Structure 1
Amino acid sequence: MQLDEATQQAHEGYLNHVLACSSCYPPTKRYCLCGSELHDRYLAQYLMSLDLHARRTYLARLEAVNPARCEALKVLLLEINEREKST
């Protein structure tokens, strides 16, 4: 799958961190504070590359499981949207 440049950069930052961090273990969704932030930024960037229906479906499923994380992800999505509007 081909990722856009912003998503690719977020992905690389996330991977570079989790491969070097002894506290992060992605298979069990265990992250240090920095790893969690990088993961959320990558996920938000990736979701912005999907269509609106796919984003809403993902967020609805996440909200049922983890409402706080869903809200944090929504904030990141709004930040990305505002940044894209201004450029």
Structure 2
Amino acid sequence: MLLDEATNEAHEGYINHAMLCRSCHPPTKRYCYEGGGLRDRYEAHYLMSLDLYARRAFLAQLEPIDPVRCESIKTLLIEIHQRNQADLC
């Protein structure tokens, strides 16, 4: 699967951090503060490559489990959308 440039950069930042950080352990979904933020940023960029229904389904599943993280990803999705709209103008 080919990712757009922003998604690829977010993915590389997340992976590079997770591989080096002793506090981050992706298989058990344990992350340091920075690692969690990088993971959320990558997921938000990835979600923007999906259709609206898939984004809503992901957020609907996440919200009961982790409402704080869900809000964080929603905020990132809005930022990405606004940046994309500004780039179109």
What is the TM-score of this pair, normalised by structure 1? 0.97
The number of residue pairs the alignment matches comes to 87
RMSD: 0.6
List structure 1 segments (4+ residues) > 6 angstroms apart after TM superposition: none
**Identical pairs, percent:** 61
In structure 1, the partner of 2:25 is 25
In structure 1, the partner of 2:83 is 83
Structure 2 gap segments, 5+ residues each: none
Matches within 5 A, 1:20-59: 20-59=20-59
Q: Aligned partners of 2:12, 2:64: CA distance in 1, in Å?
A: 29
CA apart distance, 1:2: 1.1
Q: Aligned partners of 1:56, 1:38: CA distance in 2, in Å?
A: 21
Structure 1 gap segments, 5+ residues each: none
What is the TM-score of this pair, normalised by structure 2? 0.95
Q: Aligned partners of 2:43, 2:13: CA distance in 1, in Å?
A: 12
